[in-house]
């Protein structure tokens, strides 16, 4: 896997379009990276009103020159990007994590979004448990609705960002969750599970 960080240029017309529309961002990344590999991404909001970063995880090494060729001035590629990412996890390991996701539940054959914080936290604990991890302290933010406009109409997704600490229980399933993401809506910038070591 590879992790890339792009500092977006909001003076660029295509960037403004993509920041405003998850579907447009998905199309841009698909055009540049192709649709044959697993690509997960998350739009990160910085301190300033025009400070946006794009975190992208790919299964293969991406060619960001293709982005510059197609959309000149789109972004500044962070130093050391793309970075090779081949984590090895072990049982009992504690990690900091961030996950911007689409918490849902299926009832009577229908997928329903979860909007209340306690419901989202229950969903997170269940999904991490299935992924071979136990959740610790968590902060929930960016909670609400995401509207995705497509040719077929508008899709409304429940969203929530989770920042916290987890403990790895089963390294194999957990690696698969990091590799493949968690939950639905991955094409729209949801599901990327970012992890980092807990600083002692």
Q: In this structure, what CATH number is given to the domain that contains residue 131?
A: 3.30.70.1210
Domain identity same for 56 and 114: no
141 Cβ contact list (under 8 Å, min separation 6): 160, 161, 163
Residue 89 lies in a domain: no
User: How much is the pLDDT for 38?
Assistant: 82
**Residue range 57-80, pLDDT digits in tens:** 998 899 898 899 999 999 998 888
User: How much is the pLDDT for 91?
Assistant: 94
Domain boundary among 84, 118, 152: 84
pLDDT at 193 over 70: yes
Average pLDDT of 80-95?
A: 91
Domain boundary among 57, 84, 111: 84
**Can you tell me the distance from the alpha carbon of 62 to that of 71, in angstroms, rounded to the nearest whole number?**
16
Domain identity same for 104 and 189: yes
Q: What is the pTM of this model?
A: 0.87
Residue 47 lies in a domain: yes
- Domain count across the chain: 2
**Which string of b and e fits 61-80 if b means at least 16 CB within 10 Å?**
ebebeebeeebeebbebbee
pLDDT at 24 over 60: yes
Residue 68 lies in a domain: yes
Domain identity same for 110 and 187: yes
User: How much is the pLDDT for 78?
Assistant: 87
Domain identity same for 111 and 179: yes
SS3 call for 171? helix
The values of phi and psi at residue 51, to 5°, are -100, 100
pLDDT at 154 over 60: yes
Q: Where in the sequence is the domain holding 147, given as residue range(s)?
A: 94-197
User: How much is the pLDDT for 101?
Assistant: 95
pLDDT at 36 over 70: no
Domain identity same for 98 and 188: yes
The percent helix, strand, coil of the chain (3-state, each to 5) is 25, 40, 35
150 vs 1, residue with greater confidence:
1
């Amino acid at each position: 896997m590879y992790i890339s960080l792009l500092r977006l240029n909001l003076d660029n017309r295509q960037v403004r379009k993509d920041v405003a529309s998850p579907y447009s961002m998905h199309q841009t990344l698909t055009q540049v990276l192709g649709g044959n590999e697993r690509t997960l991404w998350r739009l990160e909001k910085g301190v300033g009103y025009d400070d946006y970063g794009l975190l992208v995880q790919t299964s293969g090494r991406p060619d960001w020159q293709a982005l510059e060729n197609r959309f000149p001035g789109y972004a500044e590629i962070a130093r050391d990007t793309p970075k090779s990412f081949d984590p090895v996890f072990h049982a009992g390991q504690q990690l900091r994590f961030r996950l911007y996701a689409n918490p849902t539940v299926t009832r009577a054959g229908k997928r329903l979004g979860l909007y209340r914080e306690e419901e989202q936290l229950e969903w997170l604990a269940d999904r991490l448990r299935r992924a071979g991890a136990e959740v610790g302290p968590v902060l929930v933010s960016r909670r609400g609705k995401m509207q995705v406009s497509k040719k077929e109409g508008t899709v409304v997704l429940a969203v929530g960002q989770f920042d916290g600490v987890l403990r790895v229980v089963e390294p194999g399933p957990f690696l698969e969750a990091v590799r493949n993401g968690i939950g639905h809506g991955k094409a729209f910038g949801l599901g990327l599970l970012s992890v980092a070591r807990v600083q002692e």
